[in-house]
Amino acid sequence: MNGAVAPPPPPRPVEVPDLAAYRLLHARSLADPEGFWRERIARFRWNRPPDRVLEGDGPAARWFPGGRLNVSENALDRWVDDGHGNAAALLWESEAVDAWRRPEEVRRFTFRELRDAVALLAGALRALGVEAGDRVTICLPIVPELPIAMLACARLGAVHNVVFAGFPAQALLDRIEDSQSRVVITADGGFRNGKPFPLKSVVDTAARRTPLVQRVLVLRRTGEPVAWTPGRDHWWHEAIDAATPAAPVPVASDATHFLMYTSGSTGKPKGIAHGTAGYMVQAALTALHAFDLRPGDVGWCTADPAWITGHTYTVYGPLLSGAATVICEGPLGFPDWDRAWDVVERHRPSVLHSTPTLIRAWIRQGDAGLRVRDLSSLRLLASVGEPINPTVWRWFREVVGGGRLPVVDTWWQTEAGAAMIFPFPYATPARPGSATLPFFGVEAGIADAEGRLLEGEAAGQLVIRRPWPGMLQGIWGDPRRCHDTYWSSVPGAFVTGDAARRDGDGCIWLLGRTDDVIKVNGHRIGTAEIEGAAVAHPAVSESAVVGLPDERSGEAILVFAVLHPGQEASAEVERGIVRSVEEKVGRLARPREVRFLPALPKNRSGKILRRLLREWAITGRVSGDVTTLDDSSALPA
């Protein structure tokens, strides 16, 4: 392949040692899914094996129907029973470090210890009334108790709904209400950038606005004082003291395993529901094939377990593979970006899996710190979440990977459950900037704007042409919306919302979103949510939000606002809009800039032309067809 970087030889035998082996297996996974997946699911523990691999099609597809299993048993008990109980499962360190940059706290769990902690918490949750199928909202800082809470829910067959600990009360409330969670797991607070932040008070604010929340389980982390509602609130340490360990509860393959709220093109985040068996199989098998994680290995995925990447590759993927996972409290920039190299030196992961945003931060930090540390444990580097530009890719490989290590750029999304398009590290020639080729069972396609599938070299909408194991089960509480959002515009295919180009070798190059979703610091944010928060400001009548290229955050948020008649643009209104976005959507959606316009450019049917606004903001001009513009004076010349 042209311009490709040859894959290194595998350091130990792998199932897919070269491109020919990949092509053969991938072709077989499409031609004979029943036989292909049947062979691969024997490695998991089933209480009842599935009757079939796949039933139904499109959004109604069901993976491994008839099967019964428990994910926490597959992630934990099974390794303990297989004699790996004393192997490391979870390696955690605090954000606070001493003068020698050593973390003030390090906690290590073996598979047995983690299994026992999970079983005990599951017993405590059961005593609080949690049963299979119940939704439990988890809002915890990055502490071992976060994966423990997720796995404890899974142990009971309950559905976890993890919410990022930096969200404002309103965003938390929306997610509690939409998921109908009666139980919330939280902490008094957490630590970020060297300071404690409150969490219980955010949960209290959300819970005051709904009659739904009946139990709040509170972990003591910071020791800061918290308000207490007797009868509703329970300390974690007291609840587990009184609990008896719970055994795994087998559930149906297509029982909902978890919800993950994510942004789309409407103002309301959608609860992406993932099932049990299909998600487990793809999470585990991609952890093996993309990252070569096996029993006894240590993987480090820098993603907060609260996001989909953290679910799949900080928590489930490694543990389902019998590998240990490294988890660090707080953002990695404290005390500075060299902390990452301290972590590698201390915990000796073989895999470092990160995001382009973080890699760019490491580039800015400079390589002096990493050059004096021992990174010799690393065997493989990976990136996810945003397009990685070739310069950043090369820096990662050359400077962190010593020019030897494979760099696995993985494309996927919340809806996908697990990695979908990536180079097999020892088989696929890597292309800096391309996610390359699809995983087993994934049939990627390119469609034009009318929804027609294109053959050969082509650019257009990236679609997935058939169901895949880790696929979303649906949008929680709204099955119609799932069909309409993803499965309706290209016949028989799932529309990803990404634009992509397929080159002559079949490699996929991601070109960004086709909808109104932007990626800020790797976080997926819907422009409509920010616009909703902007117009909640009393002076604002209309708003449009676009993402601008930004070296630090990937994309930065620019808010255009139109004011009500009689309102004056001012620094105060601007601050008010920023505050409203922070309160309603969260600090991660903090706009970089607000610009005031007399009107928004719209087409004749009233749709805001964000594309024009974006182009105008970047280049100062608009090109192309503006004949559909309703009011050409909307954009100052």
Which of 126-134, 369-377, 382-390, 616-624 is the region at the interface with ligand WTA (rule: CB under 6 A)?
382-390
Name the token pair of 220: 């003591």
SS3 content of the chain, % helix, strand, coil (to 5): 30, 25, 40
Residue 448 and residue 249 in contact, taking contact as beta carbons nearer than 8 Å: no
Q: Which of residues 149-208 bind ligand WTA (CB under 6 A)?
A: none
Sign of the CA dihedral with 444 first, then 305, 476, and 52 last: positive
- 350 lines the binding site for ligand WTA (CB under 6 A): no
Minimum Å distance from CB 510 to ligand WTA? 4
- 435 lines the binding site for ligand WTA (CB under 6 A): yes
Which of 43-51, 104-112, 214-222, 378-386 is the region at the interface with ligand WTA (rule: CB under 6 A)?
378-386
Instruction: Pick one of 384, 573, 581, 622: the residue that binds ligand WTA (CB under 6 A).
Output: 384
Minimum Å distance from CB 287 to ligand WTA? 14
Q: Which is nearer to ligand WTA, 204 or 555 (CB)?
A: 555
Which of 163-171, 206-214, 410-418, 584-592 is the region at the interface with ligand WTA (rule: CB under 6 A)?
410-418
Q: Which is nearer to ligand WTA, 236 or 261 (CB)?
A: 261
Minimum Å distance from CB 262 to ligand WTA? 5
- 386 lines the binding site for ligand WTA (CB under 6 A): yes
Instruction: Pick one of 10, 322, 349, 387: the residue that binds ligand WTA (CB under 6 A).
Output: 387
- 434 lines the binding site for ligand WTA (CB under 6 A): no
Instruction: Show Cβ contacts of residue 605 under 8 Å, excluding neighbours closer than 6 positions.
Output: none
Minimum Å distance from CB 284 to ligand WTA? 17
Minimum Å distance from CB 493 to ligand WTA? 15
Residue 46's alpha-carbon distances to 41, 66, 160, 230, 484, in angstroms, are: 9, 11, 21, 41, 34
Q: Which is nearer to ligand WTA, 411 or 468 (CB)?
A: 411
Which of 159-167, 283-291, 339-347, 380-388 is the region at the interface with ligand WTA (rule: CB under 6 A)?
380-388
Minimum Å distance from CB 391 to ligand WTA? 15
Instruction: Pick one of 44, 412, 494, 560: the residue that binds ligand WTA (CB under 6 A).
Output: 412
- 304 lines the binding site for ligand WTA (CB under 6 A): no
Rounded to whole angstroms, the Cα distance separating 468 from 446 reads 17
Which of 121-129, 151-159, 385-393, 471-479 is the region at the interface with ligand WTA (rule: CB under 6 A)?
385-393
Torsion of CA 334, 340, 344, 350, to 10 degrees: 140
601-605 contacts: CB < 8 A, separation 24 or more? 601/629, 601/630, 601/631, 601/632, 601/634, 601/635, 602/629, 602/630, 602/631, 602/634, 603/628, 603/629, 603/630, 604/628, 604/630
Minimum Å distance from CB 563 to ligand WTA? 32
Beta bridge partners of 226: none
Instruction: Pick one of 411, 426, 494, 596: the residue that binds ligand WTA (CB under 6 A).
Output: 411
Instruction: Show Cβ contacts of residue 236 under 8 Å, excluding neighbours closer than 6 positions.
Output: 121, 124, 145, 185, 217, 218, 219, 220
Residue 431 and residue 507 in contact, taking contact as beta carbons nearer than 8 Å: yes
- 414 lines the binding site for ligand WTA (CB under 6 A): yes
Q: Is 170 exposed, middle or buried (0-12, 13-18, 19+ CB in 10 A)?
A: middle
For 161, phi and psi rounded to 5 degrees? Answer: -130, 90
Which of 11-19, 82-90, 103-111, 411-419 is the region at the interface with ligand WTA (rule: CB under 6 A)?
411-419
- 502 lines the binding site for ligand WTA (CB under 6 A): no
Q: Is 308 exposed, middle or buried (0-12, 13-18, 19+ CB in 10 A)?
A: buried
Q: Which is nearer to ligand WTA, 70 or 428 (CB)?
A: 428
Q: Which is nearer to ligand WTA, 169 or 510 (CB)?
A: 510
Q: Which is nearer to ligand WTA, 354 or 414 (CB)?
A: 414
Minimum Å distance from CB 191 to ligand WTA? 24
- 355 lines the binding site for ligand WTA (CB under 6 A): no
Q: Which is nearer to ligand WTA, 489 or 567 (CB)?
A: 489
Residue 353 and residue 400 in contact, taking contact as beta carbons nearer than 8 Å: no
- 309 lines the binding site for ligand WTA (CB under 6 A): yes
Minimum Å distance from CB 418 to ligand WTA? 9
Minimum Å distance from CB 414 to ligand WTA? 3
Name the token pair of 617: 């903001």
Residue 105 and residue 285 in contact, taking contact as beta carbons nearer than 8 Å: no
Instruction: Pick one of 189, 275, 385, 401: the residue that binds ligand WTA (CB under 6 A).
Output: 385
Strand, coil or helix: 322: coil
Minimum Å distance from CB 415 to ligand WTA? 7
Minimum Å distance from CB 550 to ligand WTA? 15
Minimum Å distance from CB 431 to ligand WTA? 12
Rounded to whole angstroms, the Cα distance separating 187 from 347 reads 26
Rounded to 10 deg, the angle between the 169-179 and 200-208 helix axes is 60
Rounded to whole angstroms, the Cα distance separating 30 from 26 reads 7
Q: Which is nearer to ligand WTA, 357 or 496 (CB)?
A: 496
Instruction: Show Cβ contacts of residue 264 under 8 Å, excluding neighbours closer than 6 positions.
Output: 270, 485, 497, 515, 517, 526
Instruction: Show Cβ contacts of residue 633 under 8 Å, excluding neighbours closer than 6 positions.
Output: 598, 599
Beta bridge partners of 594: 559
- 431 lines the binding site for ligand WTA (CB under 6 A): no
Minimum Å distance from CB 388 to ligand WTA? 6
State the DSSP code for 60: G
- 498 lines the binding site for ligand WTA (CB under 6 A): yes
- 524 lines the binding site for ligand WTA (CB under 6 A): yes
Beta bridge partners of 88: 110
- 286 lines the binding site for ligand WTA (CB under 6 A): no
Minimum Å distance from CB 313 to ligand WTA? 9
Residue 136 and residue 160 in contact, taking contact as beta carbons nearer than 8 Å: yes
Q: Which is nearer to ligand WTA, 70 or 262 (CB)?
A: 262
Site track 77-106 with ligand WTA (rule: CB under 6 A), x = hit = ------------------------------
Rounded to whole angstroms, the Cα distance separating 479 from 256 reads 14
Residues that bind ligand WTA (CB under 6 A): 262, 308-309, 384-387, 409-414, 435, 496-498, 510, 513, 519, 524
